Structure 1
Amino acid sequence: MSEVAPTLSIGQVAERTGLSVHALRFYEREGILANPVRRGPGGRRVYSEDDVEWLNVCIVLRASGMPVVAIRRYTDLFRQGVGNEEERLTLLREHRERVTTQIDELTRCLALINYKVGAYEDILTQGTETTCEAHPGVGRR
């Protein structure tokens, strides 16, 4: 006897992934799901655990700034199966480089913000406006 894999409704997948039902339908229309969405009785969408796992990968890629078009390309390569690993690797390496650059830029921004916070904390601790001269760029900025 064959075992039937449990299926999930669109609402359950939305709850598990944090995506809205609208976003799940968008991902389907954009061709971002690794497998075609199946339909259950009454034509309702049904998903598998594999679909949820794939969506979680896509969520991370999207949250890291990967454009939908690149996620679709990655999905297309995945669907094609064995033989295009080099292209998948290239796509992911390029994205990793963009993310690393973003992290470096944000780290520089955070350093400036931390400096400004510390300077204002010093000013407030000392209780005098004259200490602004000790911190260039602080005071009225």
Structure 2
Amino acid sequence: MKYSMKEVSEKFNITPYTLRYYEREGLLPFVQRDNNGRRIYTDVDLGSIQLVNCMRATGMSIAYIKNYVSLTTKGKDTVDERRNIMLEQKEILKEEIKKYNDLLELVNMKLDYYDEKISRDELKEIITERNNKN
């Protein structure tokens, strides 16, 4: 299928400016144009955009992604190098996940503390009310 810039922007929730920027930076090197000069995106382009967005979301710099994309254009000889890039990014993500899991654990501990405190305070209030009735 073929997609317009507007359709791609909406599909990935990114601006047309971002798509033009990615293309200008060499992250989308094969985007075609129609007779009027408008960009036409293919399913392959959508896969590339999805990967670039994923890489950006995981903290990869534009330069790092550009290097990766450059390697993809060189064919099968760079598969090991590209795999290593993905392995490095996987380790970075695992570290980030661990960090957020640790933060979540701390937040849960505080919530447990507050839940216990609220329960104790409610219990005290009930006892106080009963004592006042007697």
TM norm structure 1: 0.80
* Counterpart among 74, 77, 80 of residue 86 in structure 1: 80
Q: Shift of residue 116 of structure 1?
A: 0.6
Partner of 2:102: 108
* Counterpart among 58, 65, 68 of residue 71 in structure 1: 65
- Check the 8 A contact 2:23/2:31 in 1, yes or no: yes
Q: Shift of residue 73 of structure 1?
A: 1.1
Runs of 4 or more, structure 1, over 6 Å off, are: none
Q: Shift of residue 8 of structure 1?
A: 1.3
Partner of 1:18: 13
Residue 77 (structure 2) pairs with residue 61 (structure 1): no
Partner of 2:132: none
Runs of 5+ unmatched residues, structure 1: 1-5, 129-141
Distance (Å, rounded) in 1 between the aligned partners of 2:91 and 2:44: 28
The sequence identity of aligned pairs, in percent, is: 30
Task: Point out the structure with the larger helix share.
Answer: 2
Q: Shift of residue 36 of structure 1?
A: 2.5
Residue 89 (structure 2) pairs with residue 98 (structure 1): no
Per-residue CA shift, 1:50-75, capped at 9, x if unaligned?
10111111211211222222111111
Which structure would you say has the larger Rg?
2
Runs of 5+ unmatched residues, structure 2: 123-134
Distance (Å, rounded) in 2 between the aligned partners of 1:87 and 1:36: 21
Q: Shift of residue 9 of structure 1?
A: 1.0
Distance (Å, rounded) in 1 between the aligned partners of 2:36 and 2:78: 38
- Check the 8 A contact 2:30/2:45 in 1, yes or no: no
* Counterpart among 2, 9, 12 of residue 7 in structure 1: 2
Residue 126 (structure 2) pairs with residue 123 (structure 1): no
Q: Shift of residue 37 of structure 1?
A: 2.0
